[in-house]
Amino acid sequence: MKPIDVCLLPVIPAVILLHLLAAPYTKVEESFNIQATHDIITYGIPLKNTTFLQSYDHFTFPGAVPRTFVGALALAGYSIGAIRFLGEQYSQLVVRGFLGLFNAVVLYNYALDIKNAFGRDVSRWYILLQASQFHVMFYASRTLPNMFAFGLTTLAFNQFLPLPGRNTATVQKKQQFGIFLFVLAGVIFRSEVALLLFSQLSVLLLQSQILLQPIIQAGIMSAIVALGISVPIDSFFWQKPIWPELAGFYYNAIQGKSADWGTSPLTFYFANSLPRLLLNPFILILIPLASIIPSTRHPARGLVIPSLLFITIYSLQPHKESRFIIYVVPPLTGAASLSASYIWTRRTKSFLYSFGSIILLGSIAASFLVSTIMLLISSLNYPGGDALIQLHDIIETSHQSTTYTNTTLIIHLDVLSCMTGITHFLETTHLSPTLHLHYDKTESPPSTLLDPSFWSTFDYALMEEPGKAIGKWEVVRTVFAYSGIEILKPGDGSSFSENLERVYQANNLTKASHQNSESDENDARMKGDSVLSSEEIQREVERLGEEKEKIPWDEEKEREKREMANEKTRLLLEEMGRFGTFRLVRDAVRVVTGGYWIGPRMEPKIRILRRVKD
């Protein structure tokens, strides 16, 4: 193995794990598999006492359609040993890490088969092009049903790559194994994989590269095996006879319920999803180029035509999401790597090839840069996970000096919190031997949320809208999240100070009026576009202290004034500390650009509330 191949070997797994560490939380689309994996690891498989299954999350939150437990069961089995070794606090990272590494191994194996089929240079370009694409690297470790199917479909595509020197019997066995993997992915995880298999086999039949009889035999046997895996396992966990993917197909495709989540035009996949999935715009040139170059035309068309046929057929489905067609990214990237290698190996022959090689290298570097920016922005989209971790820190800090005798704190989690990062893996029932936490996700019936006695049972709450928490509550922390791009011009303020003012308003800290014009002036400064520095904060606190000596306040007013000043100072320092690095980078860039800035706008999303007890 040459040095460059040694360097490329860890690229794909390293990039996938980097995406995992940068964005360790999950969203609602991933919730079923991540919660199911947690439940299997935590509660085990109750073979004798099936009533123990009632502890599982899917009985409380079953979702619109049932999902398979096969992927969660496999993840739990592989992860449990590592979790016991590393500690439960790393459980979610370990579980997602195993899925990410599985997909990384599959992608690298695809690169090796590309090397065997088309040459070493093509394989190298494939690794670089694939690793620089954001979406596959970002989603590879995410517990979506699509990403369980993705590994199987990529392995299946391997079996249809042309391998020189293989006899007919070997080729037929590989094709049958590829059919088996496609059927396994379609029957268990995602029914749309059936269209992918249909597209692949249709092209092979038209090219006379496969016979109909082996297809039928392999298809029937594969379906029997796949159903033999899914139906018993899922019927046990759902406690009723069920084939989840058939139920999902009937609900989404036959009944058309998927359209309830939104519809997109026929051209959406080609005009929007595919360019974003491939990311590098040069790939959109490399793919057709590979299809017309005489030496790469035949293999490129074998990779491209089935993929485009699948997308075309699947475009008839009204509800569209990029993850539904993510399976075609490896073969399309493989086709692009054919022409990339063709250009690179001829870089010394003419100026055109030399210029093309420079563009190729530059496009990959630019894709890595854009992918990094997209990762940083995406990591800001999980306020629920951030809020729960911060709440645990708050509870530990505020209660560590208190001696408890078997105390339980009850925490309410609202819908947005649960949809943007909170999973059972992040929950901790015991912060100490005597301090326990209980989590509540009640959101229905709506009348319950209007009952003051309901809210009186909670000690803390994570709320998108703090006003919905009835009773006396204080905002102890505000969690910010990405809310689009902000464009600042010279003289413009930033969203930071505006958001900070919202923190004060949410906590009712700005309602108290100061008693002299100097205080009013300083309040105006606090509400303005400028953000106070730490030195100004200290001077403000000292000024309040001096003011206390000059003005004859009664004890109650003095205490309230001091508490308000301390709370304002605490919140301001806290928010400045949390976004200090971001502000430093932004301010440094604005100095260089003369006051201009384009970057993420951070808005308050979730408030951490603590009930004020009488």
Average pLDDT, the chain: 86
- Kindly list the domain boundaries of the chain, sorted by start residue: 3-378
Token match 């002299």: residue?
Answer: 516
Q: How confident is the model at residue 511 (pLDDT cuts 50, 70, 90)?
A: very low
Lowest mean pLDDT among 146-160, 181-195, 574-588: 574-588
Judged against a pLDDT cut of 60, whether residue 392 lies above it is answered with yes
In this prediction, residue 583 carries a pLDDT of 66
pLDDT given at position 581: 55
Task: Reply yes or no on whether the pLDDT at 205 is more than 70.
Answer: yes
Q: Work out the average pLDDT over 571-579.
A: 52
Q: Integer distance in angstroms from the first to the last C-alpha of the chain?
A: 72
Per the model's pLDDT, the better-predicted residue between 513 and 292 turns out to be 292
In sequence order, the β-bridge partners of residue 430 are 436
Q: What is the mean pLDDT of residues 484-506?
A: 64
Q: According to the model, what pLDDT value does residue 258 have?
A: 84
**pLDDT surpasses 80 at 351:** yes
- In whole angstroms, how far apart are CA 527 and each of 505, 530, 547, 572? 11, 8, 21, 12
Per DSSP bridges, beta strands 597-611 and 435-440 are: unpaired
Q: How confident is the model at residue 512 (pLDDT cuts 50, 70, 90)?
A: very low
C-alpha atoms less than 13 angstroms from C-alpha of 196 in its C-beta half-sphere: 32
Question: How far is the CA of 508 from the CAs of 204, 295, 349, 430, 523, in angstroms?
Answer: 68, 71, 72, 32, 14
Q: What is the pLDDT of residue 32?
A: 94
Residue pLDDT, tens place only, 330-341: 999 999 999 999
| Distance (Å, whole) CA 85 – CA 373 | 34
Residue identified by tokens 């670089």 is 128
Whole-angstrom Cα distance, residue 65 to residue 67? 7
What secondary structure does DSSP assign to 530-578, as a single string? S---HHHHHHHHHHHHHHHHHS---HHHHHHHHHHHHHHHHHHHHHHHH
pLDDT 10s digits, 357-387: 999 999 999 999 999 999 999 999 999 999 9
Q: Tokens standing for 165? A: 């020197």
Quick: pLDDT tens for 424-476: 999 988 877 778 899 999 888 888 899 999 999 999 999 999 989 999 999 99
**Position 437, amino acid:** L
pLDDT exceeds 70 at position 234: yes
Model pLDDT for residues 124-166, shown as the tens digit of each residue: 999 999 999 999 999 999 999 999 999 999 999 999 998 887 7
DSSP β-bridge partners for residue 604: 480
Higher-pLDDT residue of 538, 405: 405
Collapsing DSSP to helix, strand or coil, 255 comes out as: coil
User: What's this model's pTM, rounded to 2 decimal places?
Assistant: 0.85
The candidate with the shortest Cα–Cα distance to 333, out of 147, 177, 134, is 134
